[in-house]
A and B are shown apart, each in its own frame.
Chain A
Amino acid sequence: MSFSPLVERLMESLRVLPGVGPKTAQRMALHLLERDREGGRRLTAVLGEALEAVGYCRRCRTLTEEEVCTLCRSTRRDERVLCVVESPADMLAIEEAGGYQGQYFVLHGHLSPLDGVGPEDIGLDRLETRLAEEPIEELILATNPTVEGEATAHYIASQLQGRPIRLSRLAYGVPMGGELEYVDGGTLSRAFLGRQPFAGD
């Protein structure tokens, strides 16, 4: 037995979501149609609105429906420190970890010559303008510790040569509560190279 064309189309459409296969899509569709039409209506309304209204913040390029996002407007954030991340999810992770009080810049990707992603595709021209206009003293390169993330960090760093901006890169390290025995070789050798002076008092 198969469902009517419209129900089939609904299931097919639900599968655009990550992690949703045919079975899950069927459960979702049946749930909305049979048990929660009100919730479904809310979902369509919000979804439609969000897709229309949400864009990139003019300053940090994170996702927002406002011209400039709340974090960028906040007066409590340190305007002299800027952290460059690959995605809004990375930005959120850093925020949730706490401790960072500066501003952000979201690239929405990384340099990847083999995929044809160049500097203009990740808004590096925007970053440059921002660095020229704002009183930024330190730039934290928090791109992912992958080869592409590393290349992106290198490219940004080279662009900034000769400017009085302090550059830093997130350290590589052994995960908290981890055991050295199980840490992969790459992380371990980088953690060794980047070891910190230790003052036991």
Chain B
Amino acid sequence: MQPQPAFLLHKRPYRETSALVELITLDHGRVRAVARGVQRPGSRSRGRLQPFTPLHLTWSGHAELKRLGLMESRGAAALLAGEALLCGFYANELLTRTLPVELPVAEVFAFYGALLEALPFPERRAPALRRLELALLEALDAAPVYMDEQGAELDPQGRYAYRAEARHFVRLAEGGLDGRTLRLLAQSDWSEPGLAGPAKGLARAALAPLLGSRPLRSRELMQRLAASRHAAASPGA
């Protein structure tokens, strides 16, 4: 096969010197494979096969679990540290948990690549994450439909809650999201600065049924970190 553009989402040791890897690839979506010999000390692929590094890969096999062949890097790794790294983990966990194996998701792949480029810059993080989440929801046919339960358009004056299982909105007396914001979200790509808060809430609500009852560990980690930082900033609080 022709080498495929890919990113490593996760690697765990397997047997003595091999690893089980989760990849996202341009044409084949999420791929699971065995990378033989990469955990061997001094293996040249060991350093290369790292998350957040653009790769060119080949693999073989017809079963769900492939056998990784050639590995080459196709550009510099995103230099992620701190918060950006945790956001990267979040994206990786999200994709590993929600994408079915070998469903082609070229859009998601593109937005994932864009996310990695955006992550080193704090102000670009949230918009890039929202774009990836939206692309993921669209690829999985789970993006919100901006209609109420009767299939009517949303009233700009109304207040709404999102029902992710049914993919529509229900009207509320108060609270929730306002119709005007939702109509803006429907038109834009979720990344406009003023829409950050509602877009995040909506993305989380829409992703919830795909994730099931098991919480995302990377999100928990980010929240705990934010909490401990808050406690450090205001001692005695």
Contact = CB atoms under 8 A, between A and B. Distances in A.
A118 B221 contact: yes
A99 interface: no
B218 A114 contact: yes
Nearest to B88: A147
Contact of B220 (A118, A147, A187): A118
Given A147-B85, A161-B229, A114 B92 contact: yes
Interface stretch (A32-40, A74-82, A151-159): A151-159
Interface in A109-154: 111, 113-116, 118-119, 146-147, 150-151, 154
B208 interface: no
Interface string B54-77: 000000000000000000010011
B92 A18 contact: no
A189 interface: yes
B96 interface: yes
B190 to A, nearest CB: 24
A147 B12 contact: no
A119 B224 contact: yes
Contacts of A159: 228
B53 interface: yes
Say which size band chain A's interface belongs to. Answer: 20 to 34
Contacts of B83: 154
A125 to B, nearest CB: 12
A190 interface: yes
Contacts of B48: 184
A162 B86 CA distance: 21
A162 B218 contact: no
A22 to B, nearest CB: 13
Interface of A: 18-19, 111, 113-116, 118-119, 146-147, 150-151, 154-155, 157-159, 161-162, 184-187, 189-190, 193
Interface of B: 9-10, 12, 16, 47-48, 50-53, 73, 76-77, 79-83, 85-86, 88-90, 92-93, 96, 216-218, 220-221, 224-225, 228-229, 232-233, 235
